[in-house]
Structure 1
Amino acid sequence: MDPDDGDAGEPATTGASDPDTRAARFRAAAIRAGQRARELDRSPGLQRAVKRVRDALPGDAHFGDPLSLGGARHTEAAGRAIVGLTGDRPGVTRELGLGGVQVWQSVLERFGRGGGEHELVLVFTDLVEFSRWSLAAGDDAVLRVLREVGDTWEPPMTERAGTVVKRLGDGLMVAFADPAAALAAVVEARRRLGELRVEGWTPRMRAGLHSGHPRRVGGDYLGVAVNTAGRLGDAGGPGEILVSGDLLRRLDATTVSARRKRRVRLKGVADDLEVYAVEPL
Structure 2
Amino acid sequence: MPRPSDAVRTVLGTAIKVRDHGLGGAIRSSIDDLAMWADVERPDLASLAADDGSVTILFSDIEDSTTINHDLGDRAWVRLLAKHDRVFDKALTAHAGHVIKTQGDGFMVAFAEPAHAVAAAGDIQRRLAKARSGSLLAGVKVRIGIHKGSAIQRDGDLFGRNVAYAARVAAQASGGEILISEAVLRSLPDEVEVIETREAELKGVPGIQRLHLVTW
TM-score of the aligned structures, taking structure 1 as reference length: 0.59
CA contact (8 A) 1:119 1:213 kept: yes
Instruction: Name the CA distance, whole Å, in 1 between partners of 2:125 and 2:46.
Output: 28
Q: What pairs up with 1:73-152 in 2 under 5 angstroms?
A: 112-113=46-47, 115=49, 118-152=53-87
CA contact (8 A) 1:112 1:118 kept: no
Instruction: Find the residue that maps to 1:248 and give its secondary structure.
Output: helix
TM-aligned CA distance change 1:63 to 1:142, over 3 Å:
farther
Q: What pairs up with 1:189-200 in 2 under 5 angstroms?
A: 189-196=124-131, 198-199=135-136
Instruction: Find the residue that maps to 1:274 and give its secondary structure.
Output: strand
- Structure 2 regions of 5+ residues with no counterpart? 1-6, 17-38
Higher strand share: 2
Query: Hey, what does 1:210 align to over in structure 2?
Result: 147
Q: How far apart are residue 108 of structure 1 and its match?
A: 5.5
TM-aligned CA distance change 1:59 to 1:198, over 3 Å:
farther
Superposed CA offset, 1:14-55 (max 9, x none): xxxxxxxxxxxxxxxxxxxxxxxxxxxxxxxxxxxxxxxxxx
CA contact (8 A) 1:227 1:269 kept: no
CA contact (8 A) 2:57 2:111 kept: yes
State the structure with bigger RCO (CA 8 A, min sep 6), 1 or 2: 2
Identical-pair percentage = 28
TM-aligned CA distance change 1:105 to 1:222, over 3 Å:
closer
CA contact (8 A) 2:192 2:214 kept: no
Superposed CA offset, 1:138-167 (max 9, x none): 211111000010011221112211111111
Query: Hey, what does 1:233 align to over in structure 2?
Result: 170
Q: How far apart are residue 186 of structure 1 and its match?
A: 0.3
Q: How far apart are residue 59 of structure 1 and its match?
A: 3.9
Q: How far apart are residue 106 of structure 1 and its match?
A: 6.0
Q: How far apart are residue 179 of structure 1 and its match?
A: 1.1
TM-aligned CA distance change 1:238 to 1:114, over 3 Å:
closer
Query: Hey, what does 1:277 align to over in structure 2?
Result: 213
Instruction: Find the residue that maps to 1:261 and give its secondary structure.
Output: strand
Instruction: Name the CA distance, whole Å, in 2 between partners of 1:144 and 1:108.
Output: 32
TM-score of the aligned structures, taking structure 2 as reference length: 0.75
Q: What pairs up with 1:1-281 in 2 under 5 angstroms?
A: 58-59=8-9, 61=11, 62-63=14-15, 112-113=46-47, 115=49, 118-196=53-131, 198-199=135-136, 201-262=138-199, 264-280=200-216
Instruction: Find the residue that maps to 1:269 and give its secondary structure.
Output: coil
